[in-house]
Amino acid sequence: MKYLLLKHYRGGPEPVVDYETIDHWSPDEVDAHMRYMSDFASKLEATGEFVDAQALAPEGTFVRYDGEGRPPVTDGPFAETKDLVAGWMVIDVESHERALELAGELSAAPGPGGEPIHEWLELRPFMSNKAETAE
């Protein structure tokens, strides 16, 4: 089963640890955080559970169709957008319990002072593209 681990800059439940955003951390703290993330991905590759990981730039643009022959309308970026996706990891695991376990582990990435940041991660199952054989 594939799951998306969604990392938010903002949004989601109230943070449990009050810490400065990463641009205020010391270079060593930033390095330790990044190393934790990449070690986590390597570990999952070794267990045969890693599918993909991507980070997203914090600023994005909203785009929509504006009628035939017209260029699309853009809006944003919005400094105050409530929910902002920072990136994701996709895993392929045996069970929902395993997905929860891994998400918990990823949420323990170190922040200021090397302490776990207890970040909320959103866990979403992928929908399969296969129809059930049973009729």
Instruction: List contacts with other proteins (CB under 8 A).
Output: 2, 44-52, 92, 94, 125, 127-135
Closer residue to other proteins in complex, CB, 90/117: 90
Residue closer to other proteins (CB basis): 32 or 37? 37
Minimum gap (Å) between residue 63 Cβ and other proteins = 24
Q: What is the 3-state secondary structure (H, E, C) of 33-83?
A: HHHHHHHHHHHHHHCCCEEEEEECCCCCCEEECCCCCCCCEEECCCCCCCC
Q: How far is the CB of 52 from other proteins (least distance, A)?
A: 8
